[in-house]
Structure 1
Amino acid sequence: MTAFDVLILGSGLAGQSIALRLADTHKVALVTKRSLEDSASAWAQGGIAAVLDPADSTDAHVADTHTAGVGLCSDSATRFVVENGPRAIRWLIDHGVPFTTDASSAIGYHLTREGGHGHRRVIHVADATGAAVQATLTEQVRAHPNITIFEQHIAVDLIIGDKIGRPDQGCLGAYVLDIARDEVVTFAARHTVLATGGTGKVYLYTTNPDTATGDGVAMAWRAGCQVANMEFIQFHPTCLYHPQAKSFLISEAVRGEGGLLRRPDGSRFMPEHDSREELAPRDVVARAIDFEMKKHGLDCVFLDISHKPAAFLEEHFPNILARCAELGIDITRQPIPVVPAAHYSCGGIVTDLQARTGVAGLYAVGESACTGLHGANRLASNSLLECVVYGEAAAHDIAGTPRELPDTLPQWDESRVTDSDEAIVISHNWDELRRFMWDYVGIVRTNKRLQRAQHRIRLLTREIEEFYSNFRISNDLIELRNLVLTAELIVRSALKRKESRGLHFSRDYPQTLPRARDTVLKPGRGRS
């Protein structure tokens, strides 16, 4: 058994910011499935939304968030994040994040605008904000003597007092697979933080990294936490469509800076779908693209910003320009082929304003959490802001809430399992799950499609649980087990919502009900 004051599962912006805030006074373990730099945060292009311009206001940012969230955002959570946004940006600046400057700006930094925002309020580092933030913090995390980094480690499950004969002790740590050594390590901790990211790999096409397998949500559900609003999966409207471009996102900011969506014949279509045209929220734009592709039998549509000067594109979108150029697409002269792809999960583990879950000693921050900020559709560039604001809240609560460190914990038991000689089952189940989730639980849904998905999930669950019970675990098996449970929670949530709202669009219930209600699932009710 290895013991720490704080165990953080996940190394994105949420996990790293909490680690840095606590490390001066706490012994911190930072566990990550791959390298410290490998997270969805590092892939974020557009930027971080915050009220920084004197012409902007907290009320305006709150209102834009509520509009995008289609009435389902928690006002207290939204105001909490927006009001604490400027301080979060200052914390990042103080830690050396090199945001793009602008001498003509009132604040000295360039602010861009993205879909759904009524003001320019997105601070950024060119078109690779996440990578710059991650690189800056990673250097400091690696250098801090109180942070122990465990790369190539994946959490298997949380250790919960109620399940090991220690009632009311809450979360006591986690079992973690050391992938390189192929052995399970027992981590004891006073406080445990789930910062494991999203669920994008449950779908065939996604902008997410391969690590986004719903681990935090699945582990929290098995630990007894409530989850909410899992039906709201954001499909980013503009993922690069090219056989050699895996999961490459074309930033929201391209449309914010004047990019236009066109059919193959060059005609625009967004004016026919929404008065906000290309600056409509992501769910509206994604459905419009999906409609056009299905109506005209298209493989993709095109995002055109070639009317802007080449120097402007080189300054604002150097990475997008370079990546497209590698694939033979000159964005200064021709449009970019794009398709929607699963991008962000607005639902997750239910938390309060201190990032606490329903299990003592267990916190959730970032995409794995459902704070109430995103409602039925996340407003662009609110996600990284949420990571930093709730990261500070979690760190403050952890520092002010002393808990005993367990002296002993049961070790992982492998006495009744054997090595598998049928690993092909895992890859087949993984592929089947992601394909039917894309076909049946995608941008446009029906009851029949959801029920088909649910039936297949139940069959897969039985197969996977049998495999899990009889064979030694592996990284792929852990991720598949978590993905199929996450898929079940998404489908159960979607079936409970008898309306269309935000990211959840049902042909059977096309209307939006007068009252917005969260979809909350509680362990022990129905299938788990």
Structure 2
Amino acid sequence: MSDDLRHLSGLPVVIGSGLAGLTTAWALAPHDCVLVTAGELTQAAASMWAQGGIAAALSGDDSTSLHAADTRRAGAQIGDTRTIRRITDAAPDVVRLLADLGVPFDRTTEGVFDLALEGGHSRSRVAHCGDSSGATITSTLAGIVRRMPHVTTLAGFSLRRLLTTDGAISGVELTSPNGESVVLQTNRVVLATGGMGGLWSHTTNPSTALGQGVAVAARVGARIDDLHLVQFHPTALDVPADPNPLLTEALRGAGALLLADGERFVHELQPRDVVAAAVWEQLDAGRRVHLDARAIPSVETRFAGVCASCAAHGLDITRDLLPVRPALHYAMGGVSVDEHARTTVPGLWAVGEVSRTGLHGANRLASNSLLEAVVTARAAAADVRDCSSGGWHPDLLRADPATVVGRSLTVSAHLPRVRQILSRACGVVRDGSTLEDAVDELSTMRSDDAGYVAWLIARSALLHPFSVGAHRRSDDRTAAEKCSAQGVFA
């Protein structure tokens, strides 16, 4: 370790500067910590791209029980009930906390939170900041963290691997801005590295979202679950752009309609897995699918960010039908954690999208991701502060030894091919034979982190032959026919 970093030895290390990482660093105060970010704070963080907001039961006709029921229903009834209740119960206080920290949530003329309706919700409960909620919330936290003396930020440093001694975390190896290897000795690491949507050809994620947190955790024996459960957002703008611009679900909540060759074909406010499958079915049949937002009152001011994004591609949201397609949006699975955000590896926590908490089940309810980021980050910070040399006993099964594979430190040469394979085999609809071929080909790429995560995803999809939520197997006939019928507009 270079002399100028030696004083950081032994401090907790947070990897990632999206909302989950920033909240963890903020909540660790007054304890010193290190925040590692590959760019500047918030750069390439998916939470900066979130448009909708934070779901919370804040109105008189709502309750945390209803929020919990909607979350479990959207997740195909397989989410963890205790986790769902814990996180949805915390939601109102999370929104109030962020407001107290300076987040300028939209308000009504009476001064209360202006709450939007989104798909899968039985009430209007999404607190928002226009249609750039993620950027506003995350930037507010970043401004606070920059001024906190207990946080040492290592900007331009990227994670290379985790180091362990006798199965427990003992350090992290980083790559410095000049390409040198740097090792920080620590027995406390919090992964806040985000998702893996950049591994698909059509995605709404930053290109850097390649699942590296899953890769480094799995390589040291952390349990990984539900990687086959990835959500496709039904209304990504279908233009030649990588990533695809996102058309927020709040547009449909405000009245935008989905049309296939000019005809409405689905109830737009069903959970995302149902709507995405219905859109895919129309596209697969050779029809053009558009989102019609022309009738939304004051659409150009209510959704200024979306309007600007469309205008950049020659589309006027007030006059044009907007071509859409499903695009990879969010990972429900990831590094398995308990209620304290502990993984199965002593000294390793995971927060935000990189983690698998059980909140989302088989399909994430809209605007629950920023909520999960804040709640899990605060839980991890509290546990890191209180963590002693005592036992590490998360209520989790051990990792499958077949998934623990070593790595090469060479730069990836497989990403374009990985994206092709996953897009073909692990799209909106999957089948066994295509997945078998994908697993076989990706098994030769596992020394590379992107190839390794892709192999874990395809392997997980192959090992789950029945359709549930966002995981739809065309060779599971009964479930496939049922899912297809759900998407039809009646």
TM-score by length of 2: 0.90
Partner letter of residue 440 of structure 1?
A
What secondary structure sits across from 1:5 in the alignment? coil
Contact 1:190 1:403 in 2 (8 A): no
Classify 1:244/1:490 alpha carbon distance in 2 versus 1 (closer, same or farther; 3 Å): closer
Contact 1:15 1:391 in 2 (8 A): yes
The C-alpha deviation readout for 1:273-332, integer Å capped at 9, x for no partner, is xxxx00011111111111101112x4x5210110123xx213320111122123221111
**Residues 28-107 of structure 1: pairs in structure 2 closer than 5 A:** 28-38=33-43, 39-104=45-110
Partner letter of residue 28 of structure 1?
C
Partner of 1:157: 161
Query: In the alignment, is residue 252 of structure 1 matched against residue 249 of structure 2?
Result: yes
Instruction: Give me the whole-angstrom Cα distance separating, in 2, the residues matched to 1:161 and 1:246.
Output: 39
Partner of 2:436: 451
Contact 2:205 2:243 in 1 (8 A): no
Say how many residue pairs are matched: 456
Contact 1:499 1:510 in 2 (8 A): no
Query: In the alignment, is residue 385 of structure 1 matched against residue 371 of structure 2?
Result: yes
Aligned-residue offset at 1:247? 2.6
Instruction: Give me the whole-angstrom Cα distance separating, in 2, the residues matched to 1:121 and 1:510.
Output: 36
Instruction: Give me the whole-angstrom Cα distance separating, in 2, the residues matched to 1:35 and 1:483.
Output: 23
The C-alpha deviation readout for 1:98-124, integer Å capped at 9, x for no partner, is 1111124xx611100100000000000
Partner of 1:488: 455
Partner letter of residue 494 of structure 1?
A
Instruction: Give me the whole-angstrom Cα distance separating, in 2, the residues matched to 1:199 and 1:432.
Output: 15
Which of 133, 138, 141 in structure 1 is aligned with 2:142?
A: 138
Which of 473, 477, 500 in structure 1 is aligned with 2:467?
A: 500
Instruction: Give me the whole-angstrom Cα distance separating, in 1, the residues matched to 2:67 and 2:241.
Output: 38
**Residues 288-437 of structure 1: pairs in structure 2 closer than 5 A:** 288-296=278-286, 298=287, 300-309=288-297, 312-403=298-389, 426-427=412-413, 429-437=414-422
TM-score by length of 1: 0.83
Contact 2:75 2:469 in 1 (8 A): yes
Instruction: Give me the whole-angstrom Cα distance separating, in 2, the residues matched to 1:497 and 1:290.
Output: 21
The C-alpha deviation readout for 1:139-191, integer Å capped at 9, x for no partner, is 111121221111221111111112xxxx6xx212210111x211111112241
Instruction: Give me the whole-angstrom Cα distance separating, in 1, the residues matched to 2:78 and 2:467.
Output: 12
Classify 1:386/1:338 alpha carbon distance in 2 versus 1 (closer, same or farther; 3 Å): same
The C-alpha deviation readout for 1:465-504, integer Å capped at 9, x for no partner, is 3xxxxxxxxxxxxxxx221111111112111212100010
Classify 1:231/1:154 alpha carbon distance in 2 versus 1 (closer, same or farther; 3 Å): same
Aligned-residue offset at 1:45? 0.3
The C-alpha deviation readout for 1:413-443, integer Å capped at 9, x for no partner, is xxxxx998xx7xx44x211110111011111
Partner of 1:109: 113
Instruction: Give me the whole-angstrom Cα distance separating, in 1, the residues matched to 2:74 and 2:81.
Output: 13
Classify 1:244/1:219 alpha carbon distance in 2 versus 1 (closer, same or farther; 3 Å): closer
Contact 1:228 1:349 in 2 (8 A): yes
Instruction: Give me the whole-angstrom Cα distance separating, in 1, the residues matched to 2:211 and 2:241.
Output: 26
Partner letter of residue 175 of structure 2?
L
What secondary structure sits across from 2:461 in the alignment? helix
Where does structure 2 lack aligned partners over 5 or more consecutive residues? Answer: 391-407, 481-490
Instruction: Give me the whole-angstrom Cα distance separating, in 2, the residues matched to 1:331 and 1:11.
Output: 32
Instruction: Give me the whole-angstrom Cα distance separating, in 1, the residues matched to 2:10 and 2:257.
Output: 51
Which of 112, 127, 131 in structure 1 is aligned with 2:131?
A: 127
Contact 2:443 2:452 in 1 (8 A): no
Structure 1 stretch displaced more, 242-251 or 92-101 = 242-251
Contact 2:203 2:242 in 1 (8 A): no
Contact 1:499 1:511 in 2 (8 A): no
Classify 1:230/1:145 alpha carbon distance in 2 versus 1 (closer, same or farther; 3 Å): same
Partner of 2:395: none
Moved over 3 A (4+): 510-513
What secondary structure sits across from 1:140 in the alignment? helix
Where does structure 1 lack aligned partners over 5 or more consecutive residues? Answer: 271-276, 405-417, 466-480, 514-528
Partner of 1:23: 29
Instruction: Give me the whole-angstrom Cα distance separating, in 1, the residues matched to 2:415 and 2:208.
Output: 14
Which of 150, 154, 171 in structure 1 is aligned with 2:169?
A: 171
What percentage of residue pairs aligned between the two structures are identical? 41
What secondary structure sits across from 1:278 in the alignment? coil
What secondary structure sits across from 1:279 in the alignment? coil
Contact 1:4 1:29 in 2 (8 A): no
Instruction: Give me the whole-angstrom Cα distance separating, in 2, the residues matched to 1:176 and 1:54.
Output: 49
Contact 1:198 1:345 in 2 (8 A): yes
Contact 2:300 2:318 in 1 (8 A): no
Please give the root-mean-square deviation of Cα atoms over the aligned residues, in Å: 1.8
Instruction: Give me the whole-angstrom Cα distance separating, in 2, the residues matched to 1:92 and 1:342.
Output: 28
Partner letter of residue 230 of structure 1?
L
Contact 1:4 1:27 in 2 (8 A): no
What secondary structure sits across from 2:383 in the alignment? helix
Partner of 2:404: none
Instruction: Give me the whole-angstrom Cα distance separating, in 2, the residues matched to 1:86 and 1:290.
Output: 35
Classify 1:419/1:46 alpha carbon distance in 2 versus 1 (closer, same or farther; 3 Å): closer
What secondary structure sits across from 2:335 in the alignment? strand
Partner of 1:191: 188
Classify 1:419/1:253 alpha carbon distance in 2 versus 1 (closer, same or farther; 3 Å): closer
Aligned-residue offset at 1:403? 4.9
Partner of 2:403: none
What secondary structure sits across from 2:188 in the alignment? strand
Partner letter of residue 171 of structure 1?
I
Contact 1:73 1:373 in 2 (8 A): yes
Contact 2:53 2:134 in 1 (8 A): yes
